[in-house]
Chain A
Amino acid sequence: MTTPKIIPARNWGQRAVALLLIIIVALLVSLVATSRHIIWSAIPQYIFDETILDGIKLTILFTVLSMVISIIAGAILAMMRLSPNPVLSAFASLYIWFFRGTPLLVQIIFWFNIQLFIPSIDIGSFHVDTNSIITAFIAALLALSLNEAAYMAEIIRGGLMAVDSGQHEAAKALGYTPGQAMLRIIFPQALRVIIPPIGNQTISMLKTTSLVSIVAAQDLLTRAQNIYARNFLIIELLIVASIWYLVMTTIASAIQFIVEQRLGKSTNQTPGFVTNALRLMRAEGRNG
């Protein structure tokens, strides 16, 4: 006996929409590709330009530094927010409210212009002009880090609260001090919840750093702007920058994917790479 072939139902509606999409995308691509206003040869010419590559370095530096600083500051803010002390908790709430409630662009411009209301720092006979400390680099880094810390605080607080309260009780009953309980019991478990959103924030930070071009902080976009200010190849250099942003976010997404795969495998235990990192941190702490 022959078994009849199975033919799945065809969804004509979906097919029609798909066809429409293909046509639209093809039209857009040909519009850009055949545009006589874009000098395509400029793109290979500038993609590995030294100025552009330096800009990439700075964009990565901004991303890494601001993520590290904001994770540390965010962890402190999260613990303050969860503290039974009303002053600590209110301060953290106020901080988060303020930095999430005002635009990052405004914060960047503010830090860059801080010398307007704090012209110099005088401690005893010590005197410096604020301008010489708060360079565009520092202003940009401060703004990115302090702003991101507010978001990190909420992410870390969520992670800490996701750990069952029984874990804390058991640690207390076994004679762990609050610091030890946090470091050995609560935090390692909170990491499972914290790491995925930190990945998202890092990817988004790679692009957010472009905002610091407003104070000419020499990131990738600033460099592209500097070049097109001279040769007017605006679209071409924006394409160059976009290609690099896409490369960076794609690599970051791939790293995130690998990390989350490893997180997913260990149902409840701290992933190995986290354990190793924590062990290293503790060893460092002991050595000095």
Chain B
Amino acid sequence: MSIPNISPAASPIVEAVDVHKSFGSLDVLKGINLAVSKGEVVCLLGPSGSGKSTFLRCINHLERMTRGRIFVDSRLIGYHERGDALYEMSSKDLAAQRRDIGMVFQRFNLFAHQDVLTNISQPPILNRGTPRAEALDRARELLKMVDLEGRGSAYPYQLSGGQQQRVAIARALAMNPKLMLFDEPTSALDPELVGEVLNVMRKLAADGMTMIVVTHELSFAREVADRIIFMDQGVVVEEGPARELLDNPRQQRTQAFLRRMH
């Protein structure tokens, strides 16, 4: 497979090679190849059940793939390679690897028993050894970045969906990840709250964060994505620069999907 849009100098920060995943007899991913370079924003489109979430979850090993390899920052994810075998990492090593990969979920998943400031500051305190005062300062800074200054003492159930998702983004950023994964971050939101979350994501993209975003927001993809990957039935059907793919899809399946989205 050709890998477009990558200057030879920049080694990819994410590289997926022939990723397969099956649940029992159901083949969900059938050989995904993808390279994402530093600072790139890639949007993943595709019909429901095409394997977008599954692929995203393979990148931080929330899902164990059946075949293939994924590298993040040139390090093999989830396995130690010895001889011609891949040995799955210990849960401790897995945890260490995941600290560099931020993930934002469709259902926010803020820790329900902690206030906003604890949600954001506890992960770096526990998992990066950041001093408490420093982590709290950084948490307040991030809250400001997501337009929630002063809401640090609120509990998740006291916030709207849009606010919760912005806290979730701040929480992921507090770990200083090299890469951010978004799995339909606005799909669970009321329409009027989608904009505030997308705005934060725009800011992130402008700041040079590497992002892989599963989304159905075509206008966001057109505006922010460097590249769009269209997946269907576990394979990459088509990929290309955002505008090109949205305006002139070459594959029939892409055309059909985009027609349904309008």
Contact = CB atoms under 8 A, between A and B. Distances in A.
Interface string B141-157: 00000000000000111
Contacts of A268: 112-113, 155-157
Interface of A is mostly: helix
B101 interface: yes
Interface in A236-288: 267-270
Interface in A8-61: none
Contact of B123 (A175, A188, A189, A269): A175
A174 B175 contact: yes
Contact of B127 (A164, A167, A175, A267): A175
B181 to A, nearest CB: 8
A169 B96 contact: no
B60 interface: yes
- Size range of the chain A interface in the assembly: 20 to 34
Interface in A172-193: 172-178, 180, 184-185, 188-189
Contacts of B95: 172, 175-177
Nearest to A171: B111
Contacts of A170: 103, 105, 109-111, 168
Nearest to B155: A269
Contact of B105 (A166, A189, A267, A270): A166
Contacts of A171: 111
A143 B92 CA distance: 38
B62 A173 contact: yes
A185 B111 contact: yes
Contacts of B202: none
Contacts of B219: none
Interface residues of B, number: 33
B107 interface: yes
Nearest to B168: A170
Given A166-B107, A169-B62, A184-B126, A175 B113 contact: no
B115 interface: yes
Nearest to A271: B113
Nearest to A188: B113
If over half of B's interface residues share one DSSP class (helix, strand or loop), that class is named, otherwise mixed; here it is mixed
Contacts of B166: none
Contact of B115 (A167, A175, A185, A269): A269
Nearest to B103: A173
A165 B122 CA distance: 19
Contacts of A180: 126-127
Contact of B175 (A164, A167, A175): A175
Interface string B221-250: 000000000000000000000000000000
Contacts of B108: 166
Nearest to B90: A177
A172 B62 contact: yes
Nearest to B157: A268
Interface in B122-174: 122-123, 126-127, 155-157, 168, 171-172
Given A169-B105, A184-B122, A267-B157, A174 B99 contact: yes
B91 interface: yes
Given A189-B112, A268-B156, A269-B155, A178 B91 contact: yes
Contacts of A178: 91
Contact of B109 (A169, A175, A189, A269): A169
B98 interface: yes
For A164, A173, A180, the residue with the greatest tally of chain B CB atoms inside 10 Å of its CB is A173
B113 A270 contact: yes
B199 interface: no
B107 A176 contact: no
B114 interface: yes
Nearest to B108: A166
Nearest to B114: A269
A174 B123 contact: yes
Contacts of A167: 109, 111-112
Closest 6 CB pairs of A and B: A175-B99, A170-B109, A166-B109, A173-B103, A270-B113, A174-B123
21 contacts: A164-B109, A164-B112, A167-B109, A167-B111, A170-B110, A170-B168, A172-B62, A173-B60, A173-B172, A175-B99, A175-B127, A175-B175, A176-B95, A177-B91, A184-B126, A185-B113, A189-B113, A267-B155, A267-B157, A269-B112, A269-B115
Interface of A: 164, 166-167, 169-178, 180, 184-185, 188-189, 267-270
Given A166-B109, A268-B155, 18 more contacts: A166-B105, A167-B109, A167-B111, A169-B62, A170-B105, A170-B110, A171-B111, A173-B62, A173-B98, A173-B101, A174-B98, A175-B175, A176-B123, A185-B111, A268-B112, A268-B113, A268-B156, A270-B113
